[in-house]
Amino acid sequence: MHTAPDLPITEPKTTGLVGRYRTELLSGLTVALALVPEAVAFAFVAQVHPLVGLYAAFIVGLITAAFGGRPGMISGATGALAVVMVSLVVTHGVQYLFATVVLMGILQILAGIFRLGKFIRMVPHPVMLGFVNGLAIVIFLAQLGQFKTANAAGELAWMTGTPLFLMLGLVVLTMAIIWAAPRLIKSVPAPLLGILIVSILVIGFNIDVPRVGDLASIKGSLPTFSIPSVPFTLETLWIILPYSVILAAIGLIESLLTLNLVAEMLESHGKTSKECLAQGASNVVTGFFGGMGGCAMIGQSMINVKSGGRTRVSGIAAALFLLVFILWGSPLIEQIPLAALVGVMFMVVIGTFAWSSLTILHKVPSHDAFVIILVTAVTVASDLAVAVVVGVIVSALVFAWRAAKRIDVETEINTEGTKIYRLSGPLFFGSIANFQEMFSPKDDPEDVVIDFINSRVWDHSGLQAIDTLAERYSRRNKKLHLRHLSADCKRLLDKAGSMVEQIEAEDPDYGIAVDYGDKFDKE
């Protein structure tokens, strides 16, 4: 079972270094074309100027592509961040948003310095499946807005009649080209070919369908450096800090999950700490250059991988192409039909959704199936960060409950009249109730031994349970001994000041578990 979405990955046909770079550049161009309407739409969500979203897509995309922890990933302005920003912009204005993005970036840099990205490994497999499924649904729902048009009153309403059929027809045509093109033409990314063919058809026959320019003009100048115009006071800090913490958490969770997915799809490793640093640095720079901040984009990352992007060149090219569009290419880019870009994103949805998860729901344990459905639903209803946190908490509670039921004991009385309890299973906060019920100080002999050769003490609750049990025996003038404690358990007991006697003679030497995954975080 794989955490990667069910996206068919075919290695692009390349001939030497020239072919490799051609594929990377064309992949970057495809991504840049798909980034334009996304950045503009997310800017509207955050209620800022479209260029604020485009600048973020350019700066964040460029820095993370050059210095991030996973070649092939694409970053930019995202909807998950935009929905958090809107209340700040409405209440305090866009300058406070820029200051918030700078602080958000600083927090992400600190996360990279302290190597907090490694904790993404604690996200269980069912949570990952729910994450990609929920994200696929979110991407799909976001595209439905392109099927709305302004009515006579200036309000958005669903298309009907001929405009709707034209839009749907062009979307289906784009999807069909993307599906069929790899079987015929391997030198040009299929999504780019779909955009080009449909755009030529629409422009050549002057078909009246919504185009990129109908969203907003993307023409602009180079972003300029500017310190956010906010009072440098504690009051300002208390205003922006909560938003910065939330945005930093959402950005890192989405980025690191995307890193894991892309790394697994390409069967290579990503560097989580390096990605945290790159995301943070990009957001600090973005805040000083008038951008709304951003993080990794799984949809665009899937387009890049599917189009053959494997190195940092494709991501850098996507950011530079986007800048070219802003400075010089806006008249041409604004003529691209939205239907072509919607068709590309619909293919991303099909490829991103883990269809295999539907067939395994009745095969996996019921609690895992519940977590998959829960995370998917919360992702759609709320946001990615909340969904992942909820999924991890539920999975942790289920694990604790199941682990608590694993503790068991066997007893015997040796020839010396000592009663021996052979403990099996972990002793921690979830299992201490069962642990206490296993012993009978009232009926036991004067000497009692607990053998921990098949058990470990996991936390302070376990230590306290041992001390409490010792007191119960002590009140009856009986002695409790511990045998086969591991070295770390002994240190915990000694540090806690436990008076329970530990039998040293037969204690084995336990090895220390090494987290080999940490080596992939090293710079």
The tokens for 323 are: 């800048």
pLDDT (average), residues 60-73: 95
Look at the chain and count its residues: 523
Per residue in 176-198, pLDDT (tens digit) is 999 998 888 877 888 999 999 99
Instruction: For 85-166, list the strands marked E by DSSP.
Output: 148-150, 156-158
Is 514 among the domain residues?
A: no
pLDDT (average), residues 490-494: 71
Quickly state the pLDDT bin for 518 (edges 50, 70, 90). very low
Q: Strand 501-503 and strand 479-483: pairing?
A: parallel
User: Percentage of the chain with pLDDT > 70?
Assistant: 91
Q: Say yes or no to pLDDT of 118 above 60.
A: yes
Quickly state the pLDDT bin for 507 (edges 50, 70, 90). very low
The verdict on 110 and 230 lying in the same domain is yes
**Distance of CA 116 to CAs 3, 273, 280, 294, 458, Å?**
21, 7, 13, 19, 22
Q: What is the pLDDT of residue 12?
A: 54
Is 400 among the domain residues?
A: no
Quickly state the pLDDT bin for 203 (edges 50, 70, 90). very high
The verdict on 416 and 460 lying in the same domain is yes
Q: Say yes or no to pLDDT of 523 above 70.
A: no
Q: What is the pLDDT of residue 496?
A: 60
The tokens for 29 are: 């161009």
Split into its structural domains, the chain has a count of 2
Measured distance CA(118)–CA(4) in Å, rounded: 19
Measured distance CA(38)–CA(49) in Å, rounded: 13
Measured distance CA(189)–CA(186) in Å, rounded: 7
Contact at 8 Å (CB) between 52 and 290?
yes
pTM: 0.79
Q: What is the pLDDT of residue 462?
A: 86
Is 107 among the domain residues?
A: yes
The continuous run of DSSP H or E covering 480 comes out as: strand 479-483
Q: Which residue in 257, 314, 264, 267 sits closest to 31, CA to CA?
A: 314
- Of 393, 428, 453, at which residue does a domain stop? 393
Per residue in 157-174, pLDDT (tens digit) is 899 999 999 999 999 999
Averaged pLDDT of the chain: 87
- Of 345, 361, 393, at which residue does a domain stop? 393
The verdict on 55 and 81 lying in the same domain is yes
Residue 32: CB atoms within 10 A of its CB come to 27
Q: What is the pLDDT of residue 85?
A: 92
The verdict on 293 and 356 lying in the same domain is yes
Q: What is the pLDDT of residue 497?
A: 61
Q: Which residue in 397, 433, 390, 439 sits closest to 419, CA to CA?
A: 439
Backbone phi and psi for residue 417, each to the nearest 5 degrees, phi listed first: 85, 10
Q: What is the pLDDT of residue 204?
A: 94
Q: Is 311 helix (H, G, I), strand (E, B) or coil?
A: coil
Quickly state the pLDDT bin for 8 (edges 50, 70, 90). very low
Contact at 8 Å (CB) between 481 and 469?
no
Is 288 among the domain residues?
A: yes
Q: Which residues contact 112 (CB under 8 A, 6 or more apart)?
A: 273, 274, 275, 276, 277, 278, 279, 280
The verdict on 235 and 376 lying in the same domain is yes
Instruction: For 458-520, list the strands marked E by DSSP.
Output: 479-483, 501-503
- Of 373, 393, 413, at which residue does a domain stop? 393
Contact at 8 Å (CB) between 209 and 316?
no
The verdict on 491 and 375 lying in the same domain is no
The tokens for 504 are: 């040293």
Is 174 among the domain residues?
A: yes
The verdict on 380 and 423 lying in the same domain is no
The verdict on 62 and 199 lying in the same domain is yes
Quickly state the pLDDT bin for 6 (edges 50, 70, 90). low
Q: Say yes or no to pLDDT of 14 above 60.
A: no
Is 281 among the domain residues?
A: yes
Q: Which residues contact 4 (CB under 8 A, 6 or more apart)?
A: 261, 264, 265
The verdict on 435 and 456 lying in the same domain is yes
Is 21 among the domain residues?
A: yes
Classify burial at 8, counting beta carbons within 10 Å of its beta carbon; exposed 0-12, middle 13-18, buried 19 or more. Answer: exposed
Q: Say yes or no to pLDDT of 67 above 80.
A: yes
Quickly state the pLDDT bin for 490 (edges 50, 70, 90). confident
Q: What is the pLDDT of residue 30?
A: 94
* Residue numbers of the domain that contains 162: 16-143+158-217+226-393
The verdict on 428 and 313 lying in the same domain is no
DSSP string computed for 402-419: HHHTT-EEEEEE-TTS-E
Q: Say yes or no to pLDDT of 135 above 60.
A: yes
CATH of the domain at 411: 3.30.750.24
State whether the Cα torsion 173-174-176-180 is positive or negative: positive
DSSP string computed for 34-102: HHHHHHHHHHHHHTS-HHHHHHHHHHHHHHHHHHSSSTT--EE--HHHHHHHHHHHHHH-HHHHHHHHH
Contact at 8 Å (CB) between 73 and 319?
no
Q: Strand 75-76 and strand 295-296: pairing?
A: antiparallel
Q: Which residue in 523, 5, 46 sits closest to 276, CA to CA?
A: 523
The verdict on 415 and 359 lying in the same domain is no
Q: What is the pLDDT of residue 13?
A: 56
The verdict on 178 and 265 lying in the same domain is yes
Q: Say yes or no to pLDDT of 83 above 90.
A: no
Per residue in 214-236, pLDDT (tens digit) is 888 999 999 999 999 999 999 99
Per residue in 426-467, pLDDT (tens digit) is 988 889 988 989 999 999 999 999 998 888 888 888 888 888
Is 522 among the domain residues?
A: no
Quickly state the pLDDT bin for 88 (edges 50, 70, 90). very high
* Range in 18-22, 220-224, 225-229, 416-420 with the lowest mean pLDDT: 18-22
pLDDT (average), residues 253-258: 90
